[in-house]
Structure 1
Amino acid sequence: MVVLNDIESVTEALVKRKAEFANRPNLPSLDKLSNGRKNIVFANYTPAWKLHRKIAGKALRQYLAGKHLEEVLHNSMHKCLPLMAEEKEEFDPEPIIDLMVFHMLNSVCFGKSTELNDPEFQDFIKKDKKFTELIGKGFVEDMFPIMYKIWTTQKYRKITEIFDVIAERYRKKLEEHKKSFDRDYIRDFTDALILARQEAEDEEDKEVLSELTDLHLVNTISDIFGAGIDTSRVTMYFAVHYMAGLPEIQAKVHEEIDRVVGKNRLPGVKDRENLSYTEATLHEVMRLGTAVPVGVPHSTLCDTTVGGYDVPENTMVMINHWALHHDPNYWKDVDTFDPTRFLNEEGKLSMKPESWLPFSAGRRVCLGESVAKPELHLMFASIMQRFKISLPEGTSPEILIGGGGAAIQPAPFKIIVKERK
């Protein structure tokens, strides 16, 4: 395995050499947890993968062209913010943030608003969180592949059982959408995905397109839903914790939201361009609280080089996003929370800092970036518009890291919220 720890080597590999580092490693668990590499995240870099990603990207653009995202996010906020307001004492915000993110992405993918106490929805949240917890720590079977044939661990059997249940839910949703599909009335991302595939039938290589089955679409939904949930909820955990421990930063966010949005409506997509300090604060959260510290593993497609070193074909390559975001060569006072790093002299968002790469880059840049950025911004702005957040008396503002494996998060913490009058 090769680990790239600075932006120069990462840029050389992902941007300059592009396809040479665009494959995925040969791990048997990735085959199982993507129905034979039929998703976008884990599939190898092939003509079919490129067309698959192109269709999914077009579906996202079609979905985001309307007001769908803002509507479903506002719906989730109207349901979940009152739950936070009911908390009169110190409490753990994680369950409410989970509800916000799950409800919002469920609506993005499947259109229908779900009641928060719906048993099927609650069971899905539990299964997805357990799945994320187990998969993040890897598999002994990948180190000793013979075990797949003679004896698998209890953990592997449990996670494949959960995966099959979740995948079946997505398959049923796709079938329901295909039966009621109307190309003139796109209800959600699943509809947009069906439409994009239909349009591709008139435009793309028929032989390559024939490789993209309904199972590929099911796995695309899984990519948007699964990856979107895990990174979004962890980012919001960090955001709430940082604000609770940084009252001066929080006050500036409050002032900007009050000035731009007011208090009589929720922040909207069009407000985002005028909420620069709020967005810069979120960017600093994503820098210091890097949700997926080493991303998804890459693999070399051929013999290549990086940083003057030879890297053979089929070498696993990891991008150390945590190191990029904490590199003292690029960040002054690296451990200080400072949103102004992302602002220009006029107080507007400046160009993206060179060593800030939460969504990766190159051929494998995060497909859901275009959804994640406005979604996180509106969610964060909506919480900050309504509440002043603080830590319980005697609690240190220092954030301890919990979790482990593919994703990290703050160690369990409690906050106090007060509605802003």
Structure 2
Amino acid sequence: MLLVVVLAFIVIGLFLLVDLRKPIHFPPGPQWLPIVGNIFVIHKLRSVYGFFHLIWHHFYEKYGPVMGIRIGRTFFVIMSGRDAIRDAYNTDAMNGRPNGFFYRIRTFNKRLGVVFNDGDFWDTQRRFSLKILRQMGMGRANMNEHIEQECTEMVNFFKRKSANGQLIEMQHAFDIPVLNILWTLVAGYRFEYDDERLQNLLKMIHECFRVVDMTGGILNLFPLIRHFFPIRSGYKPLLNAHKPLWSFLQEVVNETKTKHSSERPKSFINSYLEEISNSTHSSFSDEQLLSICLDFFQAGTETTSNTLSFGLMYMIHNRDVCDKVHAELDAVIGKKRFPILQDRNHLPYVEAVLSEILRFSNVAPLGIAHRTTDDTTFREFIIPKDTVVLISLYSLNMDKDYWRDPNVFKPERFLNENGEYISHSEQFLPFGLGKRRCMGEHLAKASLFLYFATFMHAFQMIVPSDIPLPNIQPNDGITLQPKSFVLQLKPRF
């Protein structure tokens, strides 16, 4: 018996010693513990920095642009700085997506959708989705007209809401206007701004994005923990957020199915249902359709809506910038119409302000996580297959050597000496790069410009004297979200 106990201790000891070892030529990083990896180091740093992207930035400053950690059994490599990030985006073996419990729970515990998928399945679904969305008008003149019409609806809604000097909650005020453009493509119709059910669904989406960070959190690393700590692990909040959303999307699909072909609105859902009936490719299914709609529903609102709300915050905190935006809009647009997309080239200061909002807010500080699909040699390092690769866009946006004073909100950094807009395309990558570049980039850019320019042209923002200025510190999560804030809106004409 004693011999068995001794042998057991020896085996356990050897396992723990081996588990301390890093893979050969793995990127530098803190020493990890057996079984749990660096989880305690990250927990300690979270209490210091408050945000996950700041933890990764701390590691960047300490270990360099390519650094590695382990959380649980999963390896993570964080890419920071322009050169490492651009190289990573252009490395084919890093174009995979993580395949863990957190990433599957939102799509019926399967690898579905287009956001967290890869390989031939992803390629087929992405190509088809882009083809249909373009046929529906994405990236074309008629879609820009849809956004311009939606801007008018948005202004009228805010005018009604603010008619008697009422305070308007602005944290998620752009959710439905932003979603409406995409939903016109996806389902063939738009939502009313006072649709309470939809507003509740969107609030759940925002809450879902706050539960975990881009690593998938403790739930992704130790899925069994959901049975012991269903709320604190994030499992129950995720489930509670997705159940009504699944039901809502299923209703939309069922409504389309029950209509005769001649009655169906021209939409992505309609086209996808036809492809399910006609295609022999196994990737087309009802569950995949729901999963893609979920991807569109979430990705189509979260980042654009948050960016616009942050933008209003920054205008309130930087009244000189706000005044210059109003002055340029008045000079170029006048007081008899709202901006259209063709005005963009004549509004360089507005363009510069939007770029600075994207840079300064860091709404998606890590983009979307990547995964190595094979053992990969990257510079002098060897990164094992299935390593999660986090790309710190925050490190680009807050590069002191490049931007000089990155913590200052200064739109002029996007203008040259002649007042012309500069894109800074080598350093400024809010929509990513390479094969996994945001597929809705053109729609997002058009929406950001038109919603921001129209809102700013239409309204003067007032913070009542008895209310403090909005707190620009964001809420952490998969994306950064603005804290709740209210405004009075006064029409400018």
TM over 0.5: yes
User: 1: distance between equivalents of 2:387 and 2:430?
Assistant: 23
Amino acid at match of 1:211: S
Query: Normalization by structure 1: what TM-score?
Result: 0.86
Larger radius of gyration: 2
1:97 aligned partner, one-letter code = F
Give, in whole Å, the separation in 1 of the partners of 2:432 and 2:297: 18
* 1:66 Cα deviation from its structure 2 partner: 4.9
Structure 2 length-normalised TM: 0.74
Aligned counterparts of 2:417 and 2:265: Cα–Cα separation in 1? 42
Give unmatched runs, 5+ long, in structure 1. Answer: none
Query: Of the candidates 219, 231, 248, which is equivalent to residue 291 of structure 2?
Result: 219
**Higher RCO (CA < 8 A, seq sep 6+):** 1
Are 1:254 and 2:326 counterparts? yes
Indicate if the aligned counterparts of 1:279 and 1:377 stay in contact, CA closer than 8 A.
yes
Match of 1:301 among 363, 373, 376: 373
Q: Cα offset for 1:2?
A: 1.0
Q: Which amino acid aligns with 1:5?
A: S
Change (3 A) 1:115 1:411: closer
**Residue 115 in structure 1 maps to residue 188 in structure 2:** no
Partner of 2:107: 34
2:178 is matched with 101
How far did 1:373 drift?
A: 0.8
Partner Cα separation in structure 1 for residue 97 and residue 348 of structure 2: 36
Q: Deviations over 1:172-204 (max 9, x none)?
A: 323333454769996445456567x58x97xxx
Counterpart of 2:474 in 1: which secondary structure? strand
> In the alignment, is the contact (CA less than 8 A) between 1:10 and 1:319 conserved in 2?
yes
Counterparts of residues 7-406 of structure 1 (less than 5 Å)? 7-15=82-90, 17=91, 19-35=92-108, 36-43=110-117, 45-62=118-135, 63-64=137-138, 65-71=140-146, 73-74=150-151, 76-83=153-160, 85-86=162-163, 88=165, 92-136=169-213, 138-147=216-225, 151=228, 153-154=230-231, 155-180=234-259, 187-191=266-270, 197=275, 209-344=281-416, 346-393=418-465, 400-406=472-478
- C-alpha separation in 1, matches of 2:286 and 2:260: 15
Instruction: Please state how far the C-alpha of 1:82 moved relative to its aligned partner.
Output: 1.4
Aligned with 1:330: secondary structure?
Answer: helix
Q: For 1:9 and 1:242, how far apart are their aligned partners in 2?
A: 30
Shift of 1:58: 1.7
**Could you tell me how far 1:286 is from its partner in structure 2?**
0.4
Could you say if the C-alpha distance between residues 119 and 237 of structure 1 is closer, same or farther in structure 2, counting changes exceeding 3 Å? closer
1:103–1:116 contact (8 Å) kept in structure 2: no
Structure 2: any 5+ residue segments left out of the alignment?
1-75
Q: Aligned AA for 2:291?
A: N
Question: C-alpha distance in 1, partners of 2:481/2:465?
Answer: 22
What RMSD in Å do the two structures reach over aligned CA positions? 3.1
C-alpha distance in 1 between matches for 2:488 and 2:477: 29
Instruction: Give the drift of 1:386.
Output: 0.9
The answer as to whether partners of 1:69 and 1:108 remain within 8 angstroms in 2 is no
User: Structure 1 120/91 Cα, relative in aligned 2: closer, same or farther at 3 Å?
Assistant: closer
Q: Which residue of 1 aligns with 2:41?
A: none
CA distance in 1, matches of 2:309, 2:488: 14
Residue type of the alignment partner of 2:389: V
Q: 1:6 aligns with which of 81, 84, 103?
A: 81
Counterpart code for 1:319? I
Matching residue's letter, 2:146: E
**Structure 1 residues 336 and 177 mapped into 2: Cα distance closer, same or farther (>3 Å)?**
same
Take 2:472 and 2:402, find their aligned partners in 1: how far apart are those partners? 24
Are 2:172 and 2:306, in contact at CA under 8 Å, matched by a contact in 1?
no
